Structure 1
């Protein structure tokens, strides 16, 4: 599976789109906000109030969260400049995601975004130039020494590829991600792939960021060193159960399930710290771990079960990969079964995601 070609959030604004099913990611952005505001203030003060400020949001996706993040960043810069009686810089804002991302959805929202920024901030607000930058963040994306602040939310748990030791094999039989029943070699392959990818990510950003710049990253993770803990993999376990139930009824070939593995890894904080220290370009400023409800804790509509809500959230994120492997004809039935399994699980468990947030200072 070529991840850069098949991984994208569901496009548009339909019932299964990412734009309409990304409240969990919005919740993550809100809990990350204090770390982001602190990092921006420290950055502006340490790099002597730049005339032009380069900002990148990596894995920006599309829908309301994309410009929400940018708005929060610009608000933080504006507030800091006013507090210290400094002029607002001009902004070069880079929105990055893979080539198949729905950039058109973002660009069509920009006129309203620009109007609101001008209305809220008036003449004190510096010009803001927003650019789309398609490509993988596991490699260079921007000119050297061009970025002052980098943000990434709900993206770095996606790997550049399924580990080569696992892809296309039946090593992880009946599963689509790490599981309690996965062989040790599968766990080690996923961990090794994450280490390689995260090291490349750090090295690439170190070349693009100016000294004293900061980066705030949030990603799905786990609190325990054990990668098979439910908090890091149970959503995939239930999806595998849904697929295997279709195998049992002859709707999918078992070999199809055995040969699919998700390009995903939820690390623990210790793994992040070890790789940051090993790569050597950044110092960790702060770190936090937050728990987020699978259904984001929001009240449900009367005709909307928690299982259905979670299933739509997951579908909006992973459907492109599943469709490329299994075909589009099984998607509705697959996620109907998945919603039932999730609903049954949540009726007896208050399951949460673990979201890791780190702030890094460029040496």
Structure 2
């Protein structure tokens, strides 16, 4: 299965859409918002670019990405006022897989522009936003063009199902489970680890070519509290999903 062609969050703005069910992701990002803001401020004060380029990798289709962009723009404008200097223009690239619902984000742009214009006597900041579809496990942008890279709740998604979970006959060794469970053999956990290591290394290598000297990167991703890969803080959601799918399959009539 080519995940790049089929994998995406639920689009639109309906009751079951990602847009209406992403408050948990926003809460996680808000917890480290001070780190994100401080990182882009440090970069700006060191280099003071006239045109500041930001990339949000794994933007999805909800309101969180634009909310974060507003925070970053406001932070840089505050620093510019302190220095009695004109704020830079902002180039923002919103990246996700090609099947992502970019239209929902684009439809929210007028609201973002209105919010950025509020309370500004000199008008809204110069900000240019574009969608940038493609997998971030590989090169996306030209050499040395990004000043700030941000990714929240995206990098725990792997580029593919780890091939190491299959035996020589092509059958899964994960005992009919869809995640690393208490019943999974050690080989399964190792396969997921190797795939993550490969993906994350490629991600970092690709970004190192794209970010300017002195640029910054903030990555927020799902983790666990201890060395045990079966963590109740994350695994219980997968268990609920697995049981739901198992019940659904059991009711299918041939």
Instruction: Tell me the TM-score normalised to structure 2 length.
Output: 0.93
C-alpha distance in structure 1 between counterparts of 2:26 and 2:124, whole Å:
25
Q: Could you list the per-position Cα deviations for residues 21-53 of structure 1 after superposition, in whole angstroms to 9, with x for gaps in the alignment? A: 111112122112111111011111222x11110
Structure 2: tracts of 5 or more residues without a match: none
Aligned to 2:17: 17
Give the CA deviation at 1:108. Answer: 1.4
The answer as to 2:50 corresponding to 1:38 is no
* Structure 2 contact 117–123 (Cα < 8 Å) conserved: no
Aligned to 1:135: 134
C-alpha distance in structure 2 between counterparts of 1:44 and 1:73, whole Å:
11
Q: What's the Cα RMSD here?
A: 1.7
Q: Given the superposition, is the C-alpha separation of residues 132 and 120 from structure 1 closer, same or farther in structure 2, using an over 3 Å criterion? A: farther
Give the CA deviation at 1:85. Answer: 2.9
1:85-124 aligned within 5 A: 85-123=84-122
C-alpha distance in structure 2 between counterparts of 1:128 and 1:219, whole Å:
27
1:76-225 aligned within 5 A: 76-123=75-122, 126-166=125-165, 169-225=171-227
Instruction: Tell me the TM-score normalised to structure 1 length.
Output: 0.66
Match of 2:93, SS?
Answer: strand
Q: Larger % of helix: which?
A: 1
C-alpha distance in structure 2 between counterparts of 1:202 and 1:83, whole Å:
34
Give the CA deviation at 1:252. Answer: 4.7
* Structure 1 contact 52–90 (Cα < 8 Å) conserved: yes
Match of 2:221, SS?
Answer: strand
Give the CA deviation at 1:243. Answer: 2.7
C-alpha distance in structure 2 between counterparts of 1:246 and 1:116, whole Å:
45
Give the CA deviation at 1:81. Answer: 1.8
Match of 1:165, SS?
Answer: helix
Number of equivalent positions: 250
Give the CA deviation at 1:228. Answer: 1.6
C-alpha distance in structure 2 between counterparts of 1:123 and 1:80, whole Å:
16
Give the CA deviation at 1:159. Answer: 0.5
C-alpha distance in structure 1 between counterparts of 2:17 and 2:247, whole Å:
25
Give the CA deviation at 1:238. Answer: 2.3
Q: Could you list the per-position Cα deviations for residues 162-220 of structure 1 after superposition, in whole angstroms to 9, with x for gaps in the alignment? A: 10122663311131010111011110000000000000000111100011111111111
Aligned to 1:340: none
Q: Given the superposition, is the C-alpha separation of residues 58 and 122 from structure 1 closer, same or farther in structure 2, using an over 3 Å criterion? A: farther
Structure 1: tracts of 5 or more residues without a match: 254-363
C-alpha distance in structure 2 between counterparts of 1:164 and 1:170, whole Å:
9
